[in-house]
Amino acid sequence: MRLAILILEDEPPVREALRRDLAVFARLVRIEAAEDAETAREVIEEIRAAGDRLALVLADHRLPGTSGVDVLIALRADEDTRAARQVLVTGQADQDDTIRAINDAGLDRYVAKPWSPDALRALVREQLTEYVLANRLDPLPHLAALDAERALALVRERGDL
Amino acid sequence: MAGASGVADLCSDRPPLVVLVIAPGPGIEPLRAEVAAGLAGLATVVGAADPAQAGALIAAHPDWVVPLVLLSSEGLDAVDPQVAGLDAWPVLTEARLLLLTERPVHADLAATVDRGRLAALIARPWAPGALASQARAQAVRWLRAKRPLDPRTRWLVAADGRPLAQPESVLLGRLELDTQALTVELLAGIERVLGPRPRLRLPAGTRLLHEGVDVDTVLLVLRGRVALDHATPAGELRLHHDSTGSVVGLLSLAQQRRAFFTARATTEVEVVHLAFEELDRALAADASLGAGLAALSIRALAERLRRADQLQVEKTGLNRALEEERRRLAAALHQLEQAKLELVEQARFATLGELAAGVAHELNNPVAAMMRATSYIGEDLEHLLADHPRGALALEVLARERDRAPRGTAAERATRRALEAALGDPALAQRLAVAGVEDPREARALARDPVGLALVETAAGVGAALRNLEVASRRICELVEGLRAYARPKGAPVAGVDLHQGLEDTLRLMAHRLRQVQLERHYGPVPRIRCHPGELGQLWTNLLANALDALAPGGRIALVTDAPDADHVRVRIRDDGRGIDPAILPRVFEPRFTTKQGTVRYGLGLGLAIARRIVAAHGGTIDLTSRPGETEVCVVLPVTGPPNDEEGET
Amino acid sequence: MTSLPSQPHVRLTPPTPAQVLGLVTGPLAFALALWIEIPDLGPAGQRMLAIFLLAILLWVTEAIPLYATAVLVILLEVLMLSDQALIGGLVDPPSAASWFATLANPVIILFLGGFLIADGAHKFGLDRNLAAVMLRPFAGSARRSVLGLMLITAFLSMFVSNTATAATMFAVVIPILAALPAGAARTGVALAIPVAANVGGIGTPVGSPPNAIALGALEAQGQGLSFVGWMALAMPLMLVVLFFAWWFLTRRYVPKGLPLALRLTAEFDRSPAAVLFYLIAGATVLLWLTEPFHGIASSTVGFIPVVALLATQVMSGEDLRRLQWPVLWLVAGGIALGAGIGQSGLDAWLIGLVDWERLPLGLLLLLLVAIALGLSTVISNSATANLLVPLALSLAIGLPIDPTAVGVMVALACSLAMALPISTPPNAVAYATGEVPTRAMVLSGLAIGGFGALLLAFLMPRVWGALGLL
C-alpha cells in the first residue's frame, strides 16, 4: 500500500512544476495529476483499485468548468476520500471561496502561487504525517516521506513484538 | 301684438321661419293655435302628428328655417329616441326644443339633456298664455343667438343685445340695469330714508377695510377704483381689482363679519359710508331698496366669483406648466448624472489604460530577455552536450521533451500504465513517464541502465523546463499585447482591424474569470473593420463580464461572429444564465442600472450603458434579448467604422 | 485540524499467502497431533504437542497477530490441560488459575515496571537529554560520533524497549544524516542505531522480551536469576559485540576523518513531577542493581515504581493504558507455553526423540544458537524465544551444562538476529529511512550477528564458567 498525492491543476506547466518539486517523494509516494474534476475521479478510482490510499490533494482554485473548492467539498463528503488532507494551491482565491473551502471542505492548508519549493515540500511532509497519524497507519513504509520525529512516535508505541 | 305686421313685411324676402308642433291626435289643434298666437308676426306654425311626419315635412320644404320645435310626450314611449330622430335633420339640430308633458317624472330625457337639447319643459296643464309667451321667448332667444344680423332680430332686440322685452320681476329687472345706475338708484333710495349722506373723498392708498378686523359698515363706491388684497404667507396677494364692484364690505352682510380682504383705494375715490344699522334702517323703511341692494350685491359677487374661477383656472394652468418644468429639470439632472458617471468611468478606463500601457512597456524588456535566454540555453546546451559521451541521447531526449505537444493527464496516465505493464514496476514507470519515455523497448533498455536513466531524466527535466519557460513567456507576451490593445489611446480609428484578434485579446485578459465557464467560439468569416480597437476591447469586456455575472460555474458562453451583409459585421454573445427579468429588461442600457443586490456596482452597472455608447460611436447597433436560459447581446458594427465627423469629438 | 470526527475505521486486510498457509496448516497440525496415537506420550503431553505445533505455525507464519497466538496458547491450555479442561482424563491437572496467572507472572510484573519507567523517561524527555549529555564527549569525527551513538543507544536499550530506543535515536539522528554526504557514511550511521539497539537489549532482563521469556522459563524451573546476575552474564558479550559492530561499521562505511557535528542541547525538565520521576526511576534501578545485598526480587522491585508513579500521579491511568500490553501478553504466552511443555511431560518426550549424547556439546550449542539466530532473523525475536527457550531448557536436562546457560544463550541469540529489515523493529526503522540498502543490512547483520553467535556458542560458556557465574 502506497500513499498517493493528487495534483489537481489544469495548467500543464504548473502541474509539471508541482510534480517536479515533489519528485523527492516519488520514490515512496504515488504522485498523480489530474487536470479537471472528472479526471480526478478516475485517478482516485485507480488509486483505490490499486490498493493505495489517497493521502493528500493539492488543488488549484480554478479548474475548467468547476471550482477546485467544489471538488474538495465533494471529496470530503465521500467516505473513501474523506480522510485525505486537502491543500489549496492557488494564485487567487476570493474570500468567499476560501471561507467555503475551510468551512465546508475542512481545508487543511493554503499555498499561494508562486510557492517556495522547500516550503511546499515541508508542507507535504507535514500533511502526509498528519494523514498517517490520524489514520494510525504503519509509518515505516512511508517514513522517508514523513516528519520522522512525529511518525516515529507511532513506532515507539508498538514495542518489541 | 304691436308691430307684427312689420315683422311679416320684413319676412317676405327672408327664408320663412317655421315652428313645428308635434303632437298626436286632435289635441294638436288648440296647441298649434296657442303657439301661433304667441308667435304672431314672427313665424308660421306647422303641425305634425309624430316625428316621422315632421321629418317628411322638413324634407318637403328645404327652405324652411326652424327656430323652435314643440314636442308633446303624449303617446311617446321614450322621448330620447324621438329627439335623436328629429336631430337627424340638420335644420332641426339648431332648433330649440320645447317638451310638453303630462307626466310627473321623466326618466327618458338623459341623452337630450346631456346634449343640451332641452330648452324648456312645460307641464300640462299650463297657465293660460304661458305656452304662447314661452314659445315667443324661445323664438326670440333663437333669433338673437343664430341670426343676430337678421332684421327681424334687430326689431326684437335692442342695440346692447338685450331683448326689448324686459323681465317682469323686480330683482331680474334690476339686474338688467348697469352697476352705476343701480348704485345711484340705491343711494337715492337710502338718502330718501336717512337723509343726505356725505360723500367721502379719499386719496389713493387709503385702506377702507382691514383684513381680519370685524366689518360693520358698507361702503358704496361712487367713483374711483378699489383693490382687495389678502395676506398670505408668501406676502400680500391682490385678488380683485377690476372685479371689485361698487359695494365694499359685502361679506359683512353675510354671517362672516371679519374682513377677508384689505380694501385699498388705488385711485382717488368717492365713497358713501353706511353703518350696518343705518343700512338696516333704510331697508326696513323702504323694502324696495332690498332688491336694489341685492342686485348690486349679486352683480358684485358675480364679478368676484368669475374672477375667482378665472384665478382657479389660471392656477391649474400654472401648476401644470410648473409640473412640466419640474419634469424637464429632473430629466436634465438625470442626464447630467449619467454624463458625469460616464465621464468618471471613461476617466477610470483612461487611467487604467495609461497604467496598462506603462506596465506593458515595462514588461516587454524582461519578457524579451526571458525568451531570448530560453533559446540561448537551448543552443548552449547543444554545444555543451556535444562533447558528452552520451550527448546524442541527452540531446534527443531534451529536444523531444522541449517540443512535446501539451497532453492531458489522462493521456499521461495511459502512457504510464502501458509502461507499468511493460516493466512491472510502478515507481520506475512513473519516473520514465515523467521523463517522457513512451516506447516500452526504450523503457526496458533504460530500466537496465541506471546511469542512462538518470541522464534521460535530467535531459527530460531540462527540456520540460525550457518548454514551460517558452510557454510562460509566450503567454506573458500575449497578455502584454492584449493589454496594449486595450490601453491604446482612442485617437483616430484604425483600419483593417481583425475582429477575432480583438475578441481573443479580451478573452485572454479575462481568462481567469472565464476558466470556470465553458466558452464556445463560432467564428464566421468576417471582413476586417475600421474601429477604435481599445474601445471595442472595453465593449467585449463589459459584455462578457455581464454574461459571466449571470452564470453559475459550469455555465456556457457562446461567441458567434458573422457578417450579415457586405457592410456589417455582427458579434453575438450568448449565455445560458438565469436571464434578465422582463420587468427590468427595458432599463438595462441605463447607466447605474444593476441587479446586483440592488446596489450600484461601479463599472459593471454602467457596463451596458458604456457598451451602447461605444457601439453608437461606431455607428452600430446593440440589442439585448433575454429569457431564462438564454440571453443574447447582438452587436452589429459597420465595416466602415465610426462616421468621420465624430473624430474631433473627443 | 480537520473538523470532521475520525471514526474508528477498521479495515480487515486480506491474508497473505503465508498467513493462509499458517491458517490451514496450524489447525491441521493441531488436529493431527490429537488424532494420531503417539507412543510414550501421555494425554497431557499429546494435547500440549498439539498446542505447541499450532503455536509454532501461527507464530512463524504470523497468520494471526503474535499476541493473539499468545493468548490463544493460554486459552487452549486452560481448555485442554487444566482442572477445567473440557475433556478430562488428566492426572493431577494444574488449576486454570495457574495458566491465567502467567499473565501476571513476576517477569511480566518486572517488565511492567520497566515499561513504565521507559515511558516516563520519554514523557519527561529524559531519554533525549541523556543522549545529548552522553554524546558530548564524542563530538568531532564521524567515527567517534558513531561510537558515542552506539554506546548511548545500547545504554538506553538496556532499560527501554529496542523499538522505542531506535525511534528516539532516529529522531535525533535523521537531521544528522541529512548533514552527511549521501551514500556510505549515512548508511553506516543509520545502521549503527538498530545494531546498538538490538545488541543493547541483551544487557538487562528488561532490555528485550526474549530475556524475560528466558527468565520466566528459568524461574519456572526454579533456576531464578537476579537482575545483576543477568547483567553479569550478558554485559560482557554485549560490550564486545558492540565494539566489534562499531569497528565493522566504521571501517566499512564511515571514512576516517569525516567530520560530524552533533549539536544536541540537553534541557532537563525540572518540574516537580519530573524530579519525582527521576528519583523513583533512579531508586528502582539502584534496587535492581543491588539485589544481592537486599534480596528483594527484581520483579518485586519492578512493581515499586508502578505503585509509586501512579500514586504520585507522575504517571496517569492514560500512561498505563498506553503501555505495550501486546508485548507483555506475548511474553506471558511464551511463559505459559514453556510451563505447559514442562508440566505435560512433553519436554521429556522431545528429548527422547534424538540421541543427544552422540553429538558433541559444542556443536549442539552452536546448532541451538544458529537455529535461534536463523529463526529470529525471519520472525519475531520474542516469538522465536517463546518457541525455542522451552525446547532448549528441555534439552538442557539431558546435557552436562547449566540450564541457565542454555536459556540465556538462546535468548541472547534471538537478539543477535538483525540481518533483514524484518528481523527486528529497529531494523525496520533504519530501513524505512531510505539510507540503508538491504544488502548493507544483510552484510552487517551477518557479520555482527555471526560474530556474536560464535562468541556465544564457543566462548561464553567458558567465560561464564571461568568467572564462576554458573
The Cα of B319 is separated from the nearest Cα of chain A by a number of Å equal to 54
- Cβ–Cβ below 8 Å for C163 and A134: no
What sign results for the dihedral spanned by CA atoms C309, C311, C317, C318?
negative
- DSSP letter, residue A65: T
Interface test with B, best of A3, A29, A39 (most B CBs within 10 A): A39
Structural domain count of chain C: 2
Q: Give the bridge partners for A8, in sequence order.
A: A34, A59
Q: Cα dist. A137→A77, A129, C7 in Å?
A: 22, 10, 14
Contact C335, C385 (CB under 8 A): no
Residue B51 is placed in which grid cell? 316625428
* Percentage of residues in chain A having pLDDT higher than 70: 98
Winning range, highest mean pLDDT, from B191-205, C20-34, C248-262: C20-34
Is position C295 within any domain?
Answer: yes
Contacts of B410 in chain A (CB under 8 A): 35, 39, 42
The Cα of B462 is separated from the nearest Cα of chain A by a number of Å equal to 11
CA A3 from chain centre, in angstroms, equals: 10
Nearest to B611 by CA among B545, B564, B513: B545
The answer to whether residue C429 neighbours chain A at the CB level (below 8 Å) is: yes
B172-309: CATH topology is Jelly Rolls (2.60.120)
Is position C131 within any domain?
Answer: yes
* A10, A42, A66 ranked by CB distance to B553: nearest: A66
Q: Is the pLDDT of residue C362 over 80?
A: yes
Q: Cα dist. B182→B170, B191, B293, B488 in Å?
A: 13, 14, 8, 90
Q: Are residues C113 and C164 in the same domain?
A: yes
User: Where among C48, C74, C99 does a domain terminate?
Assistant: C99
Q: Are residues C95 and C112 in the same domain?
A: no
Q: Are residues C160 and C213 in the same domain?
A: yes
Q: Are residues C63 and C120 in the same domain?
A: no
Q: In what order do the strands lie in the sheet with B65-72?
A: B44-48, B17-22, B65-72, B96-101, B118-123
* C115, C163, C431 ranked by CB distance to A155: nearest: C163
- Cβ–Cβ below 8 Å for C424 and A156: no
Contact A19, A7 (CB under 8 A): yes
Burial class (CB in 10 A: 0-12, 13-18, 19+), C180: buried
Q: ∠ CA A133-A134-A139 to the nearest 5 degrees? A: 30
Q: Is the pLDDT of residue A150 over 50?
A: yes
- Cβ–Cβ below 8 Å for C434 and A27: yes
Provide the residue range defining the domain that includes C226: 106-321
- DSSP letter, residue B249: S
- Cβ–Cβ below 8 Å for C433 and A130: no
The Cα of A68 is separated from the nearest Cα of chain B by a number of Å equal to 10
Q: Are residues C91 and C148 in the same domain?
A: no
Q: Is the pLDDT of residue C1 over 50?
A: no
Q: What is the ipTM, given to two decimal places?
A: 0.82
Whole-angstrom distance, CA of residue C414 vs CA of residue C373:
5
Q: Provide the pLDDT confidence category of residue C162 given band limits of 50, 70 and 90.
A: very high
Residue B103 is placed in which grid cell? 307626466
Whole-angstrom distance, CA of residue B133 vs CA of residue B127:
11
Reading phi first (left if > 0) and then psi (alpha if -120 to 50, else beta), residue C125 is in: left
Residue A8 is placed in which grid cell? 489537481
Contacts of A157 in chain C (CB under 8 A): 322, 324
Q: Give the bridge partners for A86, in sequence order.
A: A57
Residue B127 CB neighbour total at 10 angstroms: 8
Q: Supply the pLDDT for residue B596.
A: 43
The Cα of A13 is separated from the nearest Cα of chain C by a number of Å equal to 30
Contact C168, C126 (CB under 8 A): no
Interface test with B, best of A31, A32, A41, A100 (most B CBs within 10 A): A32
Query: What's the pLDDT tens digit per position in C198-251?
Result: 999 999 999 999 999 999 999 888 888 899 999 999 999 999 999 999 999 999
What sign results for the dihedral spanned by CA atoms C290, C295, C300, C305?
negative
B491-646: CATH topology is Heat Shock Protein 90 (3.30.565)
Of C288 and C265, more confident? C288
Nearest to C119 by CA among C173, C67, C167: C167
User: At a CB cut-off of 8 Å and minimum separation 6, what does B30 contact?
Assistant: none
Q: Supply the pLDDT for residue B8.
A: 45
Whole-angstrom distance, CA of residue C302 vs CA of residue C117:
9
Query: What's the pLDDT tens digit per position in B262-315?
Result: 888 888 888 888 887 888 888 888 877 888 888 888 888 888 888 888 889 999
Whole-angstrom distance, CA of residue C160 vs CA of residue C324:
12
Q: Give the bridge partners for A59, in sequence order.
A: A8, A88
Residue A107 is placed in which grid cell? 481545508
The Cα of B458 is separated from the nearest Cα of chain A by a number of Å equal to 11
Domain B4-165: CATH class, spelled out: alpha beta
Q: Supply the pLDDT for residue B549.
A: 78
Burial class (CB in 10 A: 0-12, 13-18, 19+), B139: buried
Is position C306 within any domain?
Answer: yes
Query: What's the pLDDT tens digit per position in C406-464?
Result: 999 999 999 999 999 989 999 999 998 888 999 999 999 999 999 999 999 989 988 98
The boundaries of every CATH 3.40.50.2300 domain in chain B are 4-165
* Biggest CA-to-CA distance, chain C: 72
Q: What is the CA radius of gyration of chain A?
A: 15
pTM of the model: 0.62
The Cα of B564 is separated from the nearest Cα of chain A by a number of Å equal to 32
**What backbone torsions phi and psi does residue B596 show, to the nearest 5 degrees?**
-80, 95
Q: Cα dist. B532→B164, B354, B606 in Å?
A: 87, 16, 20
Q: Are residues C84 and C149 in the same domain?
A: no
Contact C197, C166 (CB under 8 A): yes
Contact B396, B422 (CB under 8 A): no
* SS3 category, C132: helix
Q: Are residues C95 and C114 in the same domain?
A: no
The answer to whether residue C170 neighbours chain A at the CB level (below 8 Å) is: yes
Name the strand (E) or helix (H) holding C438.
helix C438-454
User: At a CB cut-off of 8 Å and minimum separation 6, what does C286 contact?
Assistant: none
Low-confidence ranges of chain B (pLDDT < 50): 1-11, 593-604, 646-650
- Cβ–Cβ below 8 Å for C429 and A152: yes
Contacts of C116 in chain A (CB under 8 A): none
Of C337 and B611, more confident? C337
**What backbone torsions phi and psi does residue A37 show, to the nearest 5 degrees?**
-65, -40
- Cβ–Cβ below 8 Å for A160 and C67: no
The answer to whether residue B454 neighbours chain A at the CB level (below 8 Å) is: no
Q: Provide the pLDDT confidence category of residue C4 given band limits of 50, 70 and 90.
A: very low
**What backbone torsions phi and psi does residue C422 show, to the nearest 5 degrees?**
-85, -5
Residue B348 CB neighbour total at 10 angstroms: 13
Q: Are residues C49 and C130 in the same domain?
A: no
Q: Are residues C128 and C211 in the same domain?
A: yes
The answer to whether residue B554 neighbours chain A at the CB level (below 8 Å) is: yes
- Cβ–Cβ below 8 Å for A143 and C433: yes
Q: Supply the pLDDT for residue B4.
A: 40
Whole-angstrom distance, CA of residue B519 vs CA of residue C151:
69
Q: Are residues C231 and C274 in the same domain?
A: yes
- Cβ–Cβ below 8 Å for B516 and A65: yes
Contact B263, B207 (CB under 8 A): yes
CA C23 from chain centre, in angstroms, equals: 25
Of A65 and C204, more confident? C204
User: Where among C99, C127, C156 does a domain terminate?
Assistant: C99
Nearest to C395 by CA among C358, C359, C363, C356: C356
Query: What's the pLDDT tens digit per position in B112-122?
Result: 888 888 888 88
Is position C416 within any domain?
Answer: no
Interface test with A, best of B516, B557, B597 (most A CBs within 10 A): B516
Whole-angstrom distance, CA of residue C102 vs CA of residue C116:
20
Q: Are residues C150 and C275 in the same domain?
A: yes
Residue C138 CB neighbour total at 10 angstroms: 19
Nearest to B301 by CA among B244, B236, B253, B233: B244
- Cβ–Cβ below 8 Å for C122 and A156: yes
Residue A12 is placed in which grid cell? 500543464
Q: Is the pLDDT of residue C405 over 60?
A: yes
Contact C51, C80 (CB under 8 A): yes
Four-way CATH pick for A3-156: 3.40.50.2300, 2.102.10.10, 1.10.10.10, 3.30.365.10:
3.40.50.2300
Q: Cα dist. B98→A28, A119, B31, C313 in Å?
A: 121, 112, 12, 128
Q: Are residues C115 and C259 in the same domain?
A: yes
Q: Supply the pLDDT for residue B254.
A: 65
The answer to whether residue A136 neighbours chain C at the CB level (below 8 Å) is: no
E strands, C149-292, are 259-260
Where b means 16+ CB within 10 Å and e means fewer, B87-119 reads bebeebeebbbbbbbeeeebebbeebeeeebbb
Q: Supply the pLDDT for residue B647.
A: 46
